[in-house]
Amino acid sequence: MPNLSRNANFVREKVMAHNRYFEESIPLIASENVISPLQREMLNSDFNGRYAEGWVGHRYYQGNRFVDEVETRGMELARRLFGCSFADLRPISGTVANMAVLFGLTNPGDTIATPALADGAHISTAKFGAVGMRGVNTINYPFDTERMNIDIDGAIKMIREKKPKVSLFGMSLFLFPAPLKELSEAFIETGTTVWYDGAHVLGLIAGKKFQAPLSEGAHVMTASTHKTFPGPNHGIILANPRDEEMEKALKRGVFPGVTSSHHLHEMAALCIALDEMQKFGRRYASQIVKNSKALAQSLYDRGFGVLAADYGFTESHTLAVNVQNLGGGSSCAEALEKANIVVNKNMLPGDESSVHPSGLRLGTQEVTHLGMKEGEMSDIASFFERLLIRKENIGSVRADVIRFKRRFRKLKYCYGENYPAYKFEHFLR
Ligand code: DSN
């Protein structure tokens, strides 16, 4: 190892410490995941240092011969996997994909219908997020808090009355499929453009375990590619555009709208992830949903306020737990973190504060990727009970969490199964 400066050593050691920390922790944040060794190889390639502006075959820089071949193959893979006519692999994150759609398909002063933030919407669709900053007005669908889903009759009425330019679906607390089929008549009648933010559930859609938004009336679907979809930090736009004008507007929204180059190493890793999902996605997605239902049931049986109990808790990777009576979302999330269980506090319907919300949001996609099944969901629920209900000593729960996690440090459902998920690559000798 060459002589590294104090700063270089500091950064390197902290990153290694982070890897070890996750190796010893139970990751339950619904928007995160680990990636396969083949994707990591792409992230380390020379694609990292290059630029490719514009569309494949029409770049503004030279040197993109192989980049174009990879991206063309990736778009084919994406169109096939999601059954659509258009795929754009250039957005560098889910929020950037959302911004591109906003730039492409809306003008300041237009109106968008979206779920409300407290009902689980993503920040980029809020008044003070990208939608508001584009100058687009928002109206919120009525929400059925028992079913944890959009109220169908109320939404039909709202779309018919207000005729929003765009009707946006998809959330960050996404428990059940959005009622696209049920709303389809109102969509057609009003000519609204239907936009589905599938960031959270992209892997479930790819694995045919949630809904197929682009066959159920959505014109365009945006997503990040690193939540249930176990790819690199990146974004994607998938669409069945209404016409050529819409397709052009989407492309322009991405470039020159909101990106310059599109992080080519991530794009290559995304291509591998698309192929991996074609091969392993169905088994993976199916186990994710089994696990989230099992975790919800097991927590509920132990006395936790898991939402939507009368409706099977969830059909996705996510479950929501009301922990107001146990000290609230922040204090429970902090206690769990001390015991090496990583979750996030989350607003639940009716909450006004995002800093002190009443809920926890849990996701099973990453622990599933590490090979956990229904039996392990009951082990996890018992850690929650010991810590938050029985108030057992944090140190002793933490020690048991670390012991438990030793069996789940290797990747499943990808090329290179059993490769260590948190491996730190040493390049300098
Ligand atoms: N922050 C992510 C989430 O946790 O849902 C979305 O960008």
**329 and 248 assigned to the same domain:** no
State yes or no: pLDDT of 240 exceeds 90: yes
**109 and 66 assigned to the same domain:** yes
Nearest CA to ligand 1 atom 4: 31
The DSSP secondary-structure symbol of 365 reads H
Of all residues in the chain, the percent with pLDDT exceeding 90 is 94
**Residue 318: CB within 6 Å of ligand 1?**
no
Query: Can you give the CATH number for the domain in which 29 is found?
Result: 3.90.1150.10
Confidence of residue 176 (pLDDT cuts 50, 70, 90): very high
**Residue 31: CB within 6 Å of ligand 1?**
yes
Strands annotated E in 94-136: 111-114
Tell me whether strands 86-88 and 318-322 are parallel, antiparallel or unpaired: unpaired
Looking at residue 118, its pLDDT comes to 84
Query: Can you give the CATH number for the domain in which 170 is found?
Result: 3.40.640.10
d(CA 253, CA 274): 23
**108 and 246 assigned to the same domain:** yes
420 is a domain residue: no
Question: If DSSP codes are grouped into helix, strand and coil, which group holds residue 189?
Answer: helix
91: CB partners within 8 A, 6+ apart? 97, 100, 222, 234, 235, 236, 237, 254, 258, 259, 262
Confidence of residue 125 (pLDDT cuts 50, 70, 90): confident
Asked if 405 contacts 25 with a C-beta cutoff of 8 angstroms, the reply is yes
288 is a domain residue: yes
Looking at residue 336, its pLDDT comes to 98
**Mean pLDDT, rounded, for 122-133:** 88
422 is a domain residue: no
**45 and 163 assigned to the same domain:** yes
User: Crossing angle of helices 244-252/94-105, nearest 10°?
Assistant: 130
Mean pLDDT rounded to a whole number for the chain:
96
**112 and 174 assigned to the same domain:** yes
Residue 142: which domain range? Answer: 40-274
**390 and 363 assigned to the same domain:** yes
Confidence of residue 222 (pLDDT cuts 50, 70, 90): very high
Compute, in angstroms, the gap from residue 60 CA to the centroid of ligand 1: 33
| Ligand 1 atom nearest 30 alpha carbon | 4
**313 and 206 assigned to the same domain:** no
**147 and 256 assigned to the same domain:** yes
Q: What phi-psi label fits residue 410: left (phi over 0), alpha (psi between -120 and 50 degrees) or beta?
A: beta
**Residue 291: CB within 6 Å of ligand 1?**
no
**218 and 285 assigned to the same domain:** no
Looking at residue 426, its pLDDT comes to 85
66 is a domain residue: yes
Residue that is written with structure tokens 């009622």 in the block: 179
Tell me whether strands 193-197 and 86-88 are parallel, antiparallel or unpaired: unpaired
Looking at residue 427, its pLDDT comes to 83
Looking at residue 123, its pLDDT comes to 86
Confidence of residue 127 (pLDDT cuts 50, 70, 90): confident
**213 and 325 assigned to the same domain:** no
Confidence of residue 181 (pLDDT cuts 50, 70, 90): very high
Compute, in angstroms, the gap from residue 217 CA to the centroid of ligand 1: 25
**Mean pLDDT, rounded, for 58-77:** 97
Confidence of residue 1 (pLDDT cuts 50, 70, 90): confident
4 is a domain residue: no
**59 and 104 assigned to the same domain:** yes
**Residue 172: CB within 6 Å of ligand 1?**
yes
**80 and 97 assigned to the same domain:** yes
Compute, in angstroms, the gap from residue 199 CA to the centroid of ligand 1: 8
Looking at residue 363, its pLDDT comes to 98
Tokens of 239: 């669409």
Look at the chain and report how many structural domains it folds into.
Answer: 2
State yes or no: pLDDT of 69 exceeds 90: yes
179 is a domain residue: yes
pLDDT per position as a tens digit, 129-147: 899 999 999 999 999 999 9
Nearest CA to ligand 1 atom 2: 31
